[in-house]
Structure 1
Amino acid sequence: MRNLAILAASAVLLVALGGRADAGKTCIVTATEALPKSTGLVVKRSRTRPVSPAILATWRGRSKPIIVDVDVETAGDAQTFSYMCVMTQGSAFVQRTMN
């Protein structure tokens, strides 16, 4: 019985973590699509990170937002674009942030 409870708890944890990973992937794809349209723009790297405590303190949405950073290069000039992403009803909403 104890093993069954441990197995069930582990399954719930894995599903929760897997859902968060899928949300991060969806946010990265949506943020990449939102990049400015520029000839020769090459995405070098993308990553997610939590939003700042100041944003979370005033956040009223149901789902927790994340920040997506996309490193790009255009004609030898490297830049990082940051987007705040929120999952709503299975789709990602992104908005560019200025940090």
Structure 2
Amino acid sequence: MEAKVKKACDLLGRKKRDRPNDGFEERVVQVRRVTEVVVKGGKNLPFRVIVVVGDKKMQVGVGVGKAKEVVDAIAKSAVNDLRNIVSVPVTKYLTFPHR
């Protein structure tokens, strides 16, 4: 399991700890313990984490990660949110346009 997490952290070519300050700020929005039913009749209790990343300059990304440990789920979602960055339109008063 640990090898999979290391591979997930290295997908961008660097680990989260070693990532330079690229202007993005990460926030953990939600940590949930979910239930997965196993074929043998048992249950696994992994964690699902939602992380939002943004640069406060109209770029936002959202990532979801699932793992047996919270730290591993955060690492997976951090990789996922950098892949899903979108630009958000903002008016001159720094609000979202409704049309």
Q: Of Structure 1 and Structure 2, which has the larger fraction of its residues in helix?
A: 1
Structure-2-length-normalised TM-score = 0.39
Rg (Cα) greater in structure: 1
If asked which structure has higher relative contact order (CA below 8 Å, sep 6+), I would say 1
Q: Of Structure 1 and Structure 2, which has the larger fraction of its residues in strand?
A: 1
Structure-1-length-normalised TM-score = 0.39
